[in-house]
Structure 1
């Protein structure tokens, strides 16, 4: 058992990593990189070309993570190197993000390469970070600790995004010559923010030590051998594979909404500034809401709280059919902020209850792999429905199927039965 488990400083230090790395998710991935890539780094190229370049880069990062995440988790488990893996992935991502500051106009290939490296580092770091939850909290505290992490992530990401948006809207307030300079400084601010606020985790969180921890080469060899074992192990654990299937379906719906919300708003004629306001609403409402979901799960039931979130998501998706005004888009953003962090954080904590603690790294590698493989069915479902019905609004409603089927499969998962198999308390 880790010395940080049951230690309030360790739990808070762990949760603060969400505050640190969420700046990359909001400012870089969701906020500035796609637009700046088109208008600055890929300036002069046809819109279709820059879209293709961006799509290939994003797909490449996802593909690497898809295959590398389970292996990295297995290696970390064998050598008790989850913190070391987190440090390496974070350093890689921070350095690549900072380097975007020096990429000049028209250098789209350099910008894309750095973005791919930073994205791989970001998502690989999440494998090690998520798996450390079993070292900082007892099973009874998983919900609250996981929710605290997501809550701080929404708040931290929202705070820096708000500052970065102010920099781009009024660059002279910050002594900057124009918006392009403001965006470049925003990327550098993300790197500094990420590095600075990662420190609490490395100072306060400890892993179990092992006198027989293998060397790096032996850990790699053992990790490779363990992947096949892990696959068979998961298939032999009904609660684990059934949860992963349910999670893949409903988180696909969540990710589809995240990816399509801006495009949907633009298709309805809403301005870019309105979309930024909506994004900030999600971030700042997401902080207390995610923490609230952790509190709700502690006295109600984790699965019931997830069901509540999925039901709200289904309602939001259905309501999207009738959306016509900006204020309705804001209400939708607020509703998403209320449940998005809750569904994500409680899914993470519930999964932690289903798995063997000594294999948390490799299991969370598979968990994160499923998350990266999400938003595959949803966009296809939306596209097929739109083509079949000729209605973009009706195509959005089709996502409800993912929440319904995923939620139903979740009803068949029993954490208590998994705890009996692992010989511990749920």
Structure 2
């Protein structure tokens, strides 16, 4: 493979982050929680709305938790990472389009479409993450992984800015009101996700499976069940892998919870929608260069040290957020999150890729996504229930410190760097 082909594959792979990060920013983090609270669940108590949002995220995470290892094994055995990724991208895009059809006060249908969209997003990421070993050598994992996250923050931020303008000035676009504008934002996000996935389908090549001939589906399923058992035993024998996975299980949940619940937390404190949207834009555009810097940090001082530095930042951010009083402080915290968010995610992916056998990347990344999403079941529910039981969203947020602390302590014990 020549240098031009290698570079094109890496950029095509990284560009999928540009495609799907629009869904995270515009739908998961921003417009869905705001629209859910103000339109689909209008009239419900604030604590119930927070609980419903946490439940929706938890249901999607549980679904992927159960499917991820098996899906990864099937993909590796059959050499079908890209086709399976395409199936989940299609599910996510179609469900996102489905949100445009949900009517006022139909919060149950909104939750249903949202859960399917998130399952599509998370399921596709199993195969996307595992393709890192197909487009880069181990010495380049940190840099290429960081490039993906950096492009994701830039692309997600640009589309989000367009959608914000759409909702602030709907009349400029011939729309009747903000409700119509938000529906269009969901539709545009789905189209963006589908369109910018095309480079990956065209130019990324996955490794050929060990078997010269792809088996039939029934044979593939039987082989995958056996291989899944073997992989689980293999992980148990590889102390460095399972110790990292256990650490990741805890700390990435804290990261995901901050991402998923930040807007609803701000709404619960009474901040205006414009302030929350401005904060999200700050996060996106600071995270773009910060993720690239973390890629350099990972190469210079090691991925593990870079992750630990990011987690220390998250602890400080969480404590500051629990004492936050005004929108200006929210902006400061948003910028702080942008400094560490992409770095922790990118270096986690690259560190794990360096620990696992490349020929079993999809199934090992299946376990990676399984544990990450199983942890994400705990975080949103933890914030929601602590908030309900104490009547204080601030105390609910502080509960996330437990996840960061346990994750950092376990990661410190990983014999790496």
Distance 1:108 1:82, change over 3 A: same
Deviations 1:201-250 (A, max 9, x none): 11110012353222222222222222222221111110000001111121
Partner of 2:205: 206
Q: TM-score with structure 1 length normalisation?
A: 0.88
Contact 1:4 1:11 (C-alpha < 8 Å) held by counterparts: no
Deviations 1:4-29 (A, max 9, x none): 99801000000000110111111111
CA distance in 1, matches of 2:381, 2:190: 34
CA RMSD of aligned residues (A): 2.8
CA distance in 2, matches of 1:29, 1:158: 13
- Mapping of 1:62-101 within 5 angstroms? 62-101=61-100
Partner of 1:411: 412
The Cα shift of 1:124 comes to 0.4
Partner of 2:285: 284
Distance 1:43 1:314, change over 3 A: closer
Distance 1:116 1:359, change over 3 A: same
Structure 1 gap ranges (5+): 417-426
CA distance in 2, matches of 1:143, 1:294: 5
Deviations 1:85-119 (A, max 9, x none): 11111112112222333444455554443322222
The Cα shift of 1:144 comes to 0.6
Larger CA deviation: 56-65 vs 371-380 = 371-380
Contact 2:283 2:335 (C-alpha < 8 Å) held by counterparts: yes
Larger CA deviation: 192-201 vs 326-335 = 326-335
Contact 1:4 1:205 (C-alpha < 8 Å) held by counterparts: no
Deviations 1:304-345 (A, max 9, x none): 111211111122223334433322221111011000000011
CA distance in 2, matches of 1:396, 1:137: 38
Q: Tell me the secondary structure at the aligned position of residue 270 of structure 1.
A: coil
Contact 1:6 1:137 (C-alpha < 8 Å) held by counterparts: no
- Mapping of 1:211-230 within 5 angstroms? 211-230=212-231
CA distance in 1, matches of 2:376, 2:335: 22
- Mapping of 1:396-407 within 5 angstroms? 396-397=397-398, 399-407=400-408
Structure 2 gap ranges (5+): none
Contact 1:4 1:10 (C-alpha < 8 Å) held by counterparts: no
Distance 1:399 1:191, change over 3 A: closer
Partner of 2:367: 366
- Mapping of 1:258-337 within 5 angstroms? 258-337=259-338
Partner of 1:141: 140
| Alignment of 1:115 onto 2:152 | no
Partner of 2:15: 16
Distance 1:55 1:170, change over 3 A: same
- Count of residue correspondences: 415
Distance 1:321 1:90, change over 3 A: closer
Distance 1:390 1:48, change over 3 A: closer
Q: TM-score with structure 2 length normalisation?
A: 0.90
Contact 1:5 1:138 (C-alpha < 8 Å) held by counterparts: no
